[in-house]
Structure 1
Amino acid sequence: MSPARRVRLLLADDHTLVRAGLRALLEQLPDVEVIAEAETGRAALAQVKKLRPQIVLMDISMPDLNGLEATARIAKEVPHTRVIILSVHASEEYVLQALRAGAWGYMLKSAAVSELALAIESVAGGKNYLGPGISGKIITDYLGRAGEQKTVLEALTSRQREVLQLIAEGKNTKEIAYTLDVSVKTVESHRSHVMERLGIFDVPGLVRYAVRVGLVSLS
């Protein structure tokens, strides 16, 4: 493949060594060009808007803005960029969340290098990809559930989920307001609405909920 037709890829993972290892593997693929890296979902979203890569290889558990939320934003705001989730989680719920968010592919970090190349090739060619170890039944279930009522988490707005993640990561109201470039009053309003919708009225409870649904990890 000529340099002009190589797949331009952005790599998003919050672990420096993981990114370095993935980049080394990707640079062995003649049809792939890694054009940038990001260590948070927010940074990935900004890079996608600026650089317009064809593919984003996205981790789920990242600080500031998790990979699923970043994927949903990319799918909405930069639809020509396609996201492949690369995760340690093989559970059906994580895969379904990724598909609902707009991911084109989902594969496990334990997959072989050949599978990574196949995933990129498939998604770049306009085909969805689920890696080995993920049940093919999930796509059928996803399509069958397309019209079902949203979960409580999905019923929150994107900004409310963002505020919930930042609260769970230990940021106070002023820090969240600075991060999101909004007023303290706006953050307080979002937090109040989140608590009302979830029926959880204390910060420790919000943290436990965020960990349980995968917005943040215990690590």
Structure 2
Amino acid sequence: MKTKVYVVDDHAMVRRGLAAMIGLEPDMEFIGEAADCAAATAELGKLRPNVVVVDISLRGNSGIELIKNIKVIDPAIRVVVLSVHDETTYALRALKAGAKAYVMKMDAGSKVIDAIRKVSKGQMYISEDVGSQMFNRLAQGQHEGDSPVAGLSDRELEVVNLIGAGYATREIAARLHMGIKTVETHRAHIKAKINLTSGTKLVQFCIRWVEESKRLSLAPAPMENILETMRVREA
């Protein structure tokens, strides 16, 4: 029986590339795709894939929230995270939320296929790059608490990213489907946890955080890796 795979990524080219790659595998079947959490949640209950490949950065709710939703829809569905984000902040959060694999988009496309195959058999998978980063942190005596956002909840981290991207409170409320007062509460909690004394300092921190996250995640375009893997397989 083929492993049924569903892909959630806000870049259409990435979805198409992954669909083409999965279609080349004799033991896999691509059954659908979505660009955001809401669309994916609506379909997953009907399609019941074996594996869902999820990007962390999605419109509306984040990939972390989608992973949690998937565990409610059907705990048997395995999740592979495919992300540009540095593992320091997101890998452990994704695994705690219920993901079984974490692959960086800078990795070759074949790593995604390996991850899908592993998790479909009930195993966990962490790409070499992610595993190496985790090992280096341990070797240097670093731990999760070293990150300034380590104490934030997943939702609070979403708010940090949206503030840093320039969204106002009302816009954040609309994107995350919550009330304005709830966003303001999150802002207050973030300031308290990171020891920020004003709204201005909060905005400055969020902007720096987003800029640093982008710098750390600079890598070859994911489609380049996917297409290169396809060329190798077809050669």
Is TM more than 0.5 here?
A: yes
**Distance (whole Å) between structure 2 residues aligned to residue 103 and residue 162 of structure 1:** 18
Structure 1 residues 81 and 189: CA distance shift in structure 2, 3 A: same
Q: Structure 1 residues 47, 178: closer, same or farther in 2, change over 3 A?
A: same
Q: Is 1:183–2:179 an aligned residue pair?
A: yes
Per the alignment, in what secondary structure is the counterpart of residue 56 of structure 1? strand
Q: How many residues align?
A: 209
Superposed CA offset, 1:131-173 (max 9, x none): 344437948x99xxxxx87965343233323333332332222
Partner residue, 1:208: 208
- Is structure 2 residue 19 aligned with structure 1 residue 23? yes
Please name the residue that 2:157 is paired with: 161
1:94-142 Cα offsets, whole Å, 9 max, x none, are 5444433432112343545554333212101100112344437948x99
Higher relative contact order (CA 8 A, sep 6+): 2
Query: Which residue does the alignment assign to 2:127?
Result: 131
Give me the CA root mean square deviation: 3.7
Q: CA deviation at 1:52?
A: 3.4
Shift of 1:25: 0.9
Residue from 96, 101, 105 that aligns with 1:105: 101
**Cα shift readout 1:22-44 (whole Å, capped 9, x = no counterpart):** 11111112322222222234544
Contact 1:130 1:136 in 2 (8 A): no
Gaps of 5+ in 1: 143-147
Relative distance call for 1:135 and 1:181 in structure 2 (3 A) is: closer
**What SS does the aligned partner of 1:204 have?**
helix
| Cα drift, residue 175 of structure 1 | 2.0
Report whether the alignment pairs 1:38 with 2:34: yes
Given that 1:61 and 1:217 are in contact with CA atoms closer than 8 Å, whether structure 2 keeps it comes out as no
The answer to whether the Cα contact below 8 Å between 1:152 and 1:197 also exists between their aligned partners in 2 is: no
Q: Which amino acid aligns with 1:173?
A: T
Task: Give the match's secondary structure for 1:188.
Answer: helix
The aligned counterpart of 1:145 is none
Corresponding residue SS for 1:35: strand
TM-score under structure 2 length normalisation: 0.68
Identity, % of aligned positions: 36
Q: Report the TM-score, using the length of structure 1 for normalisation.
A: 0.72
Amino acid in structure 2 at the alignment position of 1:203: V
Give the whole-Å Cα distance in 2 for the aligned partners of 1:152 and 1:101.
20
CA contact (8 A) 1:60 1:85 kept: yes
Corresponding residue to 2:118 among 115, 122, 140: 122
Structure 2 runs not aligned, ≥5 long: 139-143, 219-235
Moved more, 36-45 or 118-127: 36-45
